[in-house]
Amino acid sequence: MSFLKRLFGGGAGRSAAGEGEPVGDAVEHKGFIIQPTPFSEGGQFQTCALISKEVDGVRKEHRLVRADRFPSADLAAEQAVRKGRQVIDEQGDQIFI
């Protein structure tokens, strides 16, 4: 039964994409805030972060999820910050469109 639950998304310990808890401190980069939120997937932690910025008095958010997986949440969080900086450098405010 547990095999079927995991196969169809009902397994314990698996978060939906982007539903990880914040890990570490948020990082500011070029006016954006990057909050790493890696989540458990297949016994490892998947790279995920919430990128936000206030634009014209409104908080905009973008959920960054990458396929990279790591053995610890801290390693996944470090990668999430690196990837977040890269996306901001490449796309800037366009990530909110």
In the prediction, which pLDDT does 20 show? 83
Distances (CA, A) of 97 to 56, 61, 80: 15, 10, 21
User: Which of 90, 65, 88, 62 shows the shortest CA–CA distance to 76?
Assistant: 65
In the prediction, which pLDDT does 62 show? 97
Q: How many CB atoms lie within 10 A of CB 86?
A: 12
For all residues of the chain together, what is the average pLDDT?
86
The domains of the chain, with CATH numbers, are: 13-96 (3.30.160)
Give pTM, 2 decimals. Answer: 0.79
pLDDT, tens only, 18-56: 468 899 999 999 999 999 999 999 999 999 999 999 999
Residue 69 pLDDT class (50, 70, 90 cuts): very high
